Amino acid sequence: MSVLALVRKVGFAVGLLGVGLGALPTAATATRQTGIAVNPVTINPVTVNPAPAAAPATAYPDAALSRSDQGDLTVLRLDGIITPGAERRFVDALHALPARRPVMVELASPGGFTAAGYRMIDAVLAERQGGRPVATRVRDGDSCESMCVGLYLAGYPRYAEPGAEFMVHAPRMAESGHMTMRSTQAMVQRLVSLGASPAWIQRVTAAGGFSGARDYRETADRLSADGANIVTDLLR
């Protein structure tokens, strides 16, 4: 059963699907599809006050993970901070599902630890490469921030209700609490390789969204209007 048929079955309103689940977003394919290199942004450094040294991962509560089976679809909801513990439970939950069973990953997260988030992204991409349909969704009243945005982009289709909020910014290192140009550039490149529009990335950069001086927020309906290619299917 297709993801389109599945989401209709469980009551989601969806638009036209633009690409198949098998076409995974890699740096090479992003360049071929857009004609723009995955490193399209020059991030100008600004002077910011460094944050205090970050607490270890054990100081933060793990995101809650719940599973709901709805007919032929499993919904995995991640609610809270992306930590190594949340990552392990999320990856274990994916691996425990029957082969090729479609999954909807529902997200409500302020972000969290970069390394854990990247491993979760890689796990979702590996599941899709293995033939499992994995879509993502953010509901009205929920937000997907920082590392959560990359995890959201790893799925396809990417559903969101109009008032769902998304936030990107320059990441800070878990060990020191400082932002670095290298980690920010790596994150921006990953967002583009996962499908974010390079033109939108440029607009966010021009507005100071990756400078370390501000958090850049947009609602799902605005992202769709801006052609960001973050949300692929706006739920009405």
Tens digits of residue pLDDT in 208-229? 999 989 999 999 999 999 999 9
pLDDT of residue 45 exceeding 60, the answer is: no
Average pLDDT of span 177-186: 80
Of the listed ranges 2-6, 109-113, 164-168, the one predicted with least confidence? 2-6
The pLDDT score that the predictor gives to residue 119 is: 97
One-character DSSP codes across the chain? --HHHHHHHTT-------S-TT----HHHHHHHHSS-S----------PPPPPPPPGGGSPPPEEEEEEETTEEEEEEES-B-HHHHHHHHHHHHHSPTT--EEEEEEB--B-HHHHHHHHHHHHHHHHTT--EEEEE-TT-EEETHHHHHHHTSSSEEE-TT-EEEE---B-TTTS-B-HHHHHHHHHHHHHTT--HHHHHHHHHTTTTSSS--EEEEHHHHHHHT-SS-SEE--
The pLDDT tens digits for 66-116 are 999 999 999 999 999 999 999 999 999 999 999 999 999 999 999 999 999
Q: In percent, how much of the chain has pLDDT > 70?
A: 72
The residue with greater pLDDT, 37 or 155, is 155
* Prediction pTM value: 0.78
